[in-house]
Amino acid sequence: MFTAWRKLSLIATAALLGLPLLVILWVGVELLIGGDYATLSHLWQTVVPEYIRHSLWLLLGVAVGVITLGVSTAWLTTACRFPGQRFLTWALLLPLAMPAYITAYTYTGMLDFAGPVQTMLRDTFGWGYGDYWFPQIRSLGGAILVLSLVLFPYVYLITRATFIQQSATTLEAGRSLGLNPWQCFVRLALPLARPAIVTGTTLALMETLADYGTVAYFGVTTFTTGIFRTWYGLGDLNGALQLAGMLLVAVIALMFLERWSRRQARYDQRSSRPAQPFQLHGAKAWLASLVCWLPLVFGFILPALQLASWSLERWQVWVDPDFWQLTFNSFMLALIAAVIVVTMALWLGYGRRQLPTPAVRVSVTFAGLGYAIPGLVIAVGLLLVLSKLDHGIIALSKSWFDYNPGLLLSGTLFALLFAYVVRFLSVSLQTINAGLAEIRPSMDEAACIQGYRPLQVLRKIHLPLLRPSVLTALILVGVDVLKELPATLVLRPFDFNTLAVRAYEMAGDERLADAGPPALMMVLVGLIPVILLSRAMLKSRNSQLTAPTNTTKESDFAPVTA
């Protein structure tokens, strides 16, 4: 009976977290079956072709950008030795700490007509307005550049891990046949790493589809900006739902592609002895160093320096009580959301470990789909659900007590936290599952023999062993919540701001210098998980060389279960 209740609670939790997505699909189908084609026909005749065209070009450009930057840097830092290689190995992850829309603001401030670059050119050559051509950063090409610089670490991180794990014998056989480093890369390493490259690229493209701040600021019309414009600008909720449904279908297609790529991962060869790196000399060594430094400089160092410059110009903001109240709101919201998300991940992850039935596995997997869905889509579905519940509560309260309680769910922190749980559960769930996989099932069996119940096993055995995974999940989710923009813009309570919203509002009013302090604060916090990832990467090759044999002894778990 207890097992059946736990199974039912796990499935119900997963269904609750997937409710916003189910609502969007259901309403979209209902609108089409009901014959409500007026809005859809108008959208198709006016804006949808443009949304599709811009979204496809954006996806194609970002795919080319992240593959070029991510694969080249991953191979060079793994297979070659050159000046600065050890530093660049972890420093290439730093762009992950920079939200894409923040990078867009900084490059706009640097490259616009009134920015320092064009001002220096005019002062140097005596040019005036219209005397020279300069590339427009606020364009589709600018959005592709910014998103590529920020998202290429997804491909770099996954592909480099694959390069590290590739068999040494394969590359050594290529060397014995006379292949140089470039030929070994093209003919051997690259085909073997293809599943990892596809996986990292798919993750980057999911983030591209979910982006709102960058494309909105650059004036690029995509599905995310279209949903926001249709809903808030035109007041057409049905049209926004139909656009959200189209975007949801595109995201699901990318998810299937990512799953397919992981299915192909069996072609990747693994070895306990990684290949010895090539030692580069002379011009080749400095060229390799330059290739790795360029994405780091343009993806992190220059934007960070620009943010620091703006923050110094607005130094008085750092002593303003309102700014610190804004920072407190953001940190408390991130902390509360992180605790809730990690708690849910522990419940679902441990439940799947204890009850690995097909229904539970499918339900938990479904609950983790939110990270691949744009925050704006989640906000649309969630508001539709909560508004129905609010109106039902109001009607019931009026009929029973002749009292109107107002909106209790939508437009509150409850709605915002709900959206964060749906959006970021997958980040925490994957981290917790990785930690659970390191705990041998024999420890659970030994505890059960001694009379421990499942919750006691979790509290006395798993939680102490999962402490690093739980801490990492808390940090990652907290930073993701801190940077989330679309869902926060839509669902935040009245007169409640966060650092992300304040930076977006200042940049939207062309007050880029005023956007510097909140943006810099977000970046500084975002460095924490990047440093954790960097430390793990520095130990990756050593762990390959010195991995101990995985043996099981009674003494390994006896002290824990005592």
Shared domain for 212 and 331, answered yes or no, is no
Q: Residue 91: name the closest of 308, 295, 304, 302 by CA.
A: 295
Task: Provide the pLDDT for residue 299.
Answer: 92
Task: Provide the pLDDT for residue 145.
Answer: 94
Highest mean pLDDT out of 16-20, 266-270, 529-533: 16-20
- Termini Cα distance of the chain: 28
Task: Provide the pLDDT for residue 30.
Answer: 67
Shared domain for 302 and 282, answered yes or no, is yes
CA distance 488 to 375: 8
Helix and strand element counts for the chain (H, E): 30, 2
Tell me: pLDDT of 115 over 60. yes
CA distance 473 to 348: 14
In tens, the pLDDT along 346-376 reads 888 887 877 777 887 777 777 777 776 778 7
In a domain, 2, yes or no: no
Task: Provide the pLDDT for residue 550.
Answer: 41
Shared domain for 181 and 60, answered yes or no, is yes
In tens, the pLDDT along 223-243 reads 888 888 887 777 777 777 777
Torsion, Cα of 109, 110, 113, 116 (10° steps):
120
Range of the domain at 471: 316-562
Render 401-460 in DSSP notation, one character per residue.
HS-----SSTTSHHHHHHHHHHHHHHHHHHHHHHHHHTS-HHHHHHHHHTT--HHHHIII
Shared domain for 388 and 269, answered yes or no, is no
In a domain, 7, yes or no: no
Last-in-domain residue among 260, 295, 313: 313
C-alpha neighbours within 13 Å on the C-beta side of residue 40:
16
Tell me: pLDDT of 60 over 70. yes
Shared domain for 308 and 405, answered yes or no, is no
pLDDT category of residue 11 using cuts at 50, 70 and 90: confident
In a domain, 1, yes or no: no
Shared domain for 286 and 147, answered yes or no, is yes
How many independent structural domains does the chain possess?
2
Task: Provide the pLDDT for residue 557.
Answer: 33
Average pLDDT, the chain: 79
Crossing angle of the two packed helices 48-79 and 282-296, in degrees rounded to 10: 140
Mean per-residue pLDDT, 23-49:
71
In a domain, 134, yes or no: no
Shared domain for 353 and 304, answered yes or no, is no
How many residues are present in the chain? 562
Tell me: pLDDT of 519 over 80. yes
Task: Provide the pLDDT for residue 1.
Answer: 45
Render 482-519 in DSSP notation, one character per residue.
HH--HHHHHHSPTT---HHHHHHHHHHTT-HHHHHHHH
Last-in-domain residue among 263, 279, 313: 313
Task: Provide the pLDDT for residue 29.
Answer: 65
Mean per-residue pLDDT, 135-145:
91
Q: 174 near 184, Cβ under 8 Å? A: yes
Render 447-477 in DSSP notation, one character per residue.
HHHTT--HHHHIIIIIHHHTHHHHHHHHHHH
In a domain, 20, yes or no: no
Task: Provide the pLDDT for residue 259.
Answer: 67
In a domain, 278, yes or no: yes
Tell me: pLDDT of 109 over 50. yes
CATH code of residue 295: 1.10.3720.10
Tell me: pLDDT of 312 over 50. yes
In a domain, 479, yes or no: yes
Last-in-domain residue among 286, 313, 340: 313
CA distances from 540 to 26, 156, 157, 298, 399 (A): 45, 14, 11, 26, 64
424 against 556, higher pLDDT: 424
Shared domain for 293 and 330, answered yes or no, is no
Which range among 1-5, 183-187, 478-482, 540-544 shows the weakest confidence by mean pLDDT? 540-544
Mean per-residue pLDDT, 402-412:
78
Question: Is the model's pTM score more than 0.75?
Answer: yes
Shared domain for 520 and 454, answered yes or no, is yes
pLDDT category of residue 267 using cuts at 50, 70 and 90: very low
Shared domain for 383 and 349, answered yes or no, is yes
In tens, the pLDDT along 449-465 reads 777 777 777 777 777 77
Task: Provide the pLDDT for residue 556.
Answer: 37
Torsion, Cα of 343, 349, 354, 358 (10° steps):
130
Shared domain for 295 and 335, answered yes or no, is no
Residue 490 token pair:
């839509």
In a domain, 35, yes or no: no
Shared domain for 300 and 374, answered yes or no, is no
